[in-house]
Amino acid sequence: MLTTIILNFAAIFIFLFIFWKRLKEDYSSEIIFKTSLFIFTGIGIGLFLSFKLAQNWIFWITFAWGLIGMVFALLKLKIRFYETIEAFLLAILPWLSILYLIDSTNNSSLISFLIFIEILLLIFGSYFFDTHYRNFKWYKSGKIGFAGLVTAGIFFVIRFILAILGIPVLSFVVGFEAIISGVIAFVCFLLLYIRSK
């Protein structure tokens, strides 16, 4: 239990560092902190609601409320969408990897450990995408957002495939997982297509 708490606090600090590092060139530390506060408030509301109402939906409810917090920050603080969503998506990956690592050790889950490895590979992949996306000829605009949207799209495609194959993963919603993950993956790639123009 203590290890879980310590790892989650470490994940929060990693999130804050990555989120700040991604946005520090465009915004003041105060604006970045306020945006993070909105996101964490959303995540907190999501956790509370999912524990009270639907624990099987914890991933989706928490993710949705984190996004709601981010959208609220976008509207209130007048920050740009693509830069912020990319920072959010890339900063949340280490936290997700830690959650899967905790589940793999607490429940001796091979699937959770494999998802932990997958997320680590996505983290390394996101840095590759971030440093090379301007060299992709089909991504003509060269605008920020590529790394976050591609990484998130791949993550949700993998969740979609696992759901189709019937492989249970931490916080899967039976009967709905494939649909939700497929829709989110489609939205990520659609936003990427729009951004490429």
Residue 142 is part of which domain span?
2-26+80-196
Evaluate whether residue 189 is within a structural domain.
yes
The model's pLDDT over 79-107, given as tens digits with 9 standing for 90+, comes to: 999 899 999 999 999 999 998 898 888 88
DSSP codes of every residue in 131-160: HHGGG-TT-TT--TTHHHHHHHHHHHHHHH
Asked if residue 128 has pLDDT above 80, the reply is yes
Mean pLDDT score of the chain: 88
**Residues 46-61: tens digit of each pLDDT:** 999 988 888 888 889 9
Instruction: Confirm whether 162 is domain-assigned.
Output: yes
pTM of the model: 0.89
How many domains is the chain built from?
1
Write down the number of H helices and E strands in the chain: 7, 0
Asked if pLDDT for residue 166 goes beyond 80, the answer is yes
Would residue 53 count as lying in a domain? Answer: no
Residue 124 placed within a domain: yes
Give dist(CA 2, CA 6) in Å, integer: 6
Q: Is residue 123 part of a domain?
A: yes
User: Which tokens hold the place of 5?
Assistant: 């708490």
Assigned domain for 180 exists: yes
d(CA 20, CA 13): 10
CA distances (Å), 4 to each of 60, 82, 113, 180, in order? 21, 32, 16, 28
Tens of pLDDT, residue by residue over 20-55, are 999 998 899 999 999 999 999 999 999 999 888 888
Residue 177 included in any domain: yes
Is residue 39, in this structure, part of any structural domain at all?
A: no
